[in-house]
């Protein structure tokens, strides 16, 4: 089955620790995206990548980092510099920027 | 400015009622793309529709229909004969260059 997987579904970390969220897709999509969603709010773009080894900052990139070494993988690291990291993180991919994005199931990160 | 406004924060209906979710957009582009997504309680965003600005025909898919009006910059979504399974948060989005701009979403609750 083609799709996007994110792991883990729930993640707990202590304050001050970096944490990496996984996102993998087997849809052969070129573009991948990371969004953050806070309770009762819309999605805010963190980072996106349109091609391997290239990525761009979104609207709220501070405190986050990404890599795109393989077409199918786009991991997101939430660093200790992110002041309020507790949120729901969604990964998405698309064939290209004109087309619809398909989303993974999300990772709910709680920093204690 | 590129912007999507979903003024309805929450809507409650009783099963079998029709309901319309509003979406108003602002864009500087002459050609643009609009999208609707559904986010059920599980959290994963489900793609519903993509609409090109040069195609003003309204679209119907089962109980779902979309009314695109360039004159009022609106792309409204109607669910006919709503069902409990339609309960979710619905997001409207606008493509901005190589990313999507999401509205803040409308939470729809359908009661039996």
For an interface test with A, which of B6, B8, B29, B45 has the most A Cβ atoms less than 10 Å from its Cβ?
B45
Decide: A46 and A61 in contact? Cβ < 8 Å.
Answer: yes
**Which of A11, A98, A100, A108 should we substitute to test contact with B (largest number of B Cβ atoms within 10 Å)?**
A100
**B100 and A45 in contact by Cβ < 8 A?**
yes
Burial (CB count within 10 angstroms: exposed 0-12, middle 13-18, buried 19+), residue A65:
middle
Q: What are the DSSP E strand ranges found in chain A? A: 4-7, 10-13, 19-25, 31-37, 43-51, 54-57, 64-66, 76-78, 87-94, 102-103, 107-111
Q: What is the mean pLDDT of residues B49-69?
A: 89
Q: In A, which residues are within 8 Å of B103 by CB distance?
A: 42
Residues of chain B with C-beta less than 8 angstroms from the C-beta of A90: 43-45
pLDDT band of A1, cuts 50, 70, 90: low
Which of A57-66, B5-14, B93-102 is the least confident region? B93-102
Q: Tokens representing A18?
A: 């970096």
Give the A:B interface size as CB pairs under 8 Å: 50
Average of per-residue pLDDT across A40-56: 92
């Amino acid at each position: 089955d083609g799709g996007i997987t994110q792991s883990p579904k729930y993640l707990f970390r202590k304050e001050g620790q970096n944490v990496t969220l996984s996102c993998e897709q087997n849809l052969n999509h070129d573009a991948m995206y990371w969004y953050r969603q806070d309770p009762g709010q819309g999605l805010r773009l963190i980072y996106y990548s349109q091609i391997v080894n290239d990525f761009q900052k979104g609207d709220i990139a501070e405190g986050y980092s990404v890599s795109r070494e393989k077409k199918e993988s786009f991991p997101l690291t939430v660093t200790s510099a992110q002041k309020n990291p507790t949120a729901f993180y969604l990964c998405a991919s698309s064939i290209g920027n004109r087309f619809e994005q398909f989303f993974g199931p999300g990772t709910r990160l709680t920093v204690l | 400015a590129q912007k999507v406004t979903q003024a309805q924060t929450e809507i409650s209906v009783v099963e079998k009622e029709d309901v319309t979710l509003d979406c108003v957009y602002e864009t500087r582009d002459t050609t643009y793309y609009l999208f609707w997504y559904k986010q059920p309680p599980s959290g994963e965003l489900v793609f519903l529709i993509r609409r090109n600005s040069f195609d003003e025909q309204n679209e119907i898919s089962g109980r779902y229909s979309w009314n695109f009006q360039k004159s009022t910059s609106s792309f409204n979504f109607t669910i006919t004969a709503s069902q409990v399974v339609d309960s979710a948060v619905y997001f409207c989005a606008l493509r901005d260059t190589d990313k999507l701009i999401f509205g803040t979403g409308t939470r729809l609750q359908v009661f039996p």
